[in-house]
């Protein structure tokens, strides 16, 4: 399939899935949202998006089950990775022979799950750099950014990648098609592993607080260098000075709260396996010493256990 997909299902219609789905629907695409908590509100009032000082609205096709949605050309997956076990039940009813699966989820290992179960040739992934919040059922607030980095799983971009990228671009989402998706995931992890992790493990420090303490600042850098070493051993070359760049950039973010810290403070599930567990497992299997990442991962498992 080289043309853009004609029918799209959004699985995991939290802030992320709802926002990108609404953008596509507004552009005229046939977008079908799988909804749970917001189902009634969206059926009644549609989806509302507030961005750049204005509010816009799409009616949105909201469904209560994947069986009602049926097979589509593209499934966009916005589930929290902590709910990945649900994919086994959610994906099959949405598949025809050529259905593509695009995961916009965080961290590492999500494309692998889809590829192992439903075939690597179907799988694409995207990294979202966007600040969103679901402020009420069916109401999404977009605070800034919104870039989507889109790529194939385990191969270079193809015609279909460009077509899907163009579809998002036309819908007003700044999209870049990337040569190596997993390299991009590792680059994002270089920031997420230390900042999301240490913000929780220190009991709730914001980015500026983590950087202000010399000893913790050194742990941020050391965790970044471990992540870069793991990525390198797995074939994803990232220069060491990328750590300096990421730290520099973070100073300007002030009292920023990483998303995992917000999840943790609100008692929501934290994506421990995809952000820390899977990077540690893959790097460890490649023979890289990752002592700080391993310790942080094990602490986060304990700190986020509901018990």
- Looking at 128-251, list the stretches that DSSP marks H as alpha helix, in order from N- to C-terminal side: 159-170, 181-201, 207-212, 214-233, 241-251
Cα separation, 276 vs 21, whole angstroms: 28
By the rule CB under 8 A, 53 interacts with a copy of itself? no
The minimum distance between CB 296 and a copy of itself, in angstroms, equals: 7
The minimum distance between CB 96 and a copy of itself, in angstroms, equals: 41
Interface pick for a copy of itself out of 27, 82, 176, 202 (rule CB under 8 A) = 202
Scan residues 218-277 and list those touching a copy of itself (CB under 8 A).
218-219, 222
The minimum distance between CB 213 and a copy of itself, in angstroms, equals: 7
Cα separation, 8 vs 24, whole angstroms: 9
188 is catalytic: yes
Cα separation, 207 vs 200, whole angstroms: 11
Residue closer to a copy of itself, measured from CB, 80 or 292:
292
Cα separation, 217 vs 208, whole angstroms: 10
Residue closer to a copy of itself, measured from CB, 183 or 301:
301
Contact residues for 31 (Cβ-Cβ < 8 A; gap 6+)? 8, 9, 10, 21, 22, 24, 25, 60, 61
The minimum distance between CB 170 and a copy of itself, in angstroms, equals: 46
By the rule CB under 8 A, 291 interacts with a copy of itself? yes
By the rule CB under 8 A, 63 interacts with a copy of itself? no
Contact residues for 48 (Cβ-Cβ < 8 A; gap 6+)? 55, 56, 57, 138, 139, 140
List contacts with a copy of itself (CB under 8 A).
198, 201-203, 205, 213, 215-216, 218-219, 222, 291-292, 294-299, 301-303
Active site residues: 188
């Amino acid at each position: 399939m080289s043309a853009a997909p004609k029918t799209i299902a959004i699985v995991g219609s939290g802030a992320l899935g709802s926002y990108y789905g609404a953008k596509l629907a507004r552009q005229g695409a046939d977008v079908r949202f799988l909804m749970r908590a917001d189902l009634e509100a969206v059926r009644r009032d549609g989806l509302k998006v507030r961005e750049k000082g204005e509010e816009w609205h799409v009616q949105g096709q909201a469904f209560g089950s994947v069986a009602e949605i049926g097979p589509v050309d593209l499934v966009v997956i916005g589930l929290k990775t902590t709910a990945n076990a649900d994919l086994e039940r959610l994906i099959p009813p949405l598949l025809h022979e050529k259905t593509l699966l695009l995961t916009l989820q965080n961290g590492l290992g999500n494309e692998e799950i889809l590829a192992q179960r439903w075939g690597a040739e179907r799988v694409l992934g995207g990294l979202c750099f966007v600040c969103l919040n679901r402020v009420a059922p069916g109401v999404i607030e977009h605070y800034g950014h919104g870039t989507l980095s889109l790529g194939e799983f385990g191969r270079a971009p193809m015609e279909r990648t460009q077509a899907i990228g163009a579809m998002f671009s036309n819908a007003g989402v700044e999209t870049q098609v990337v040569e190596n998706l997993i390299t991009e995931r590792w680059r994002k992890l270089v920031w997420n592993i230390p900042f999301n992790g240490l913000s929780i493990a220190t009991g709730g420090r914001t980015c500026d607080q983590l950087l202000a303490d010399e000893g913790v600042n050194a742990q941020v850098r050391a965790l970044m260098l471990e992540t870069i070493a793991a990525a390198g051993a797995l074939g994803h070359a990232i220069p060491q000075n990328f750590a300096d760049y990421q730290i520099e950039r973070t100073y300007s973010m002030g009292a920023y709260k990483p998303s995992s810290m917000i999840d943790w403070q609100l008692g929501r599930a934290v994506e421990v396996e995809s952000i820390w567990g899977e990077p540690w497992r893959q790097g460890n299997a490649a023979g890289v010493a990752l002592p700080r990442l391993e310790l942080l991962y094990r602490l986060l498992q304990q700190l986020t256990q509901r018990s």
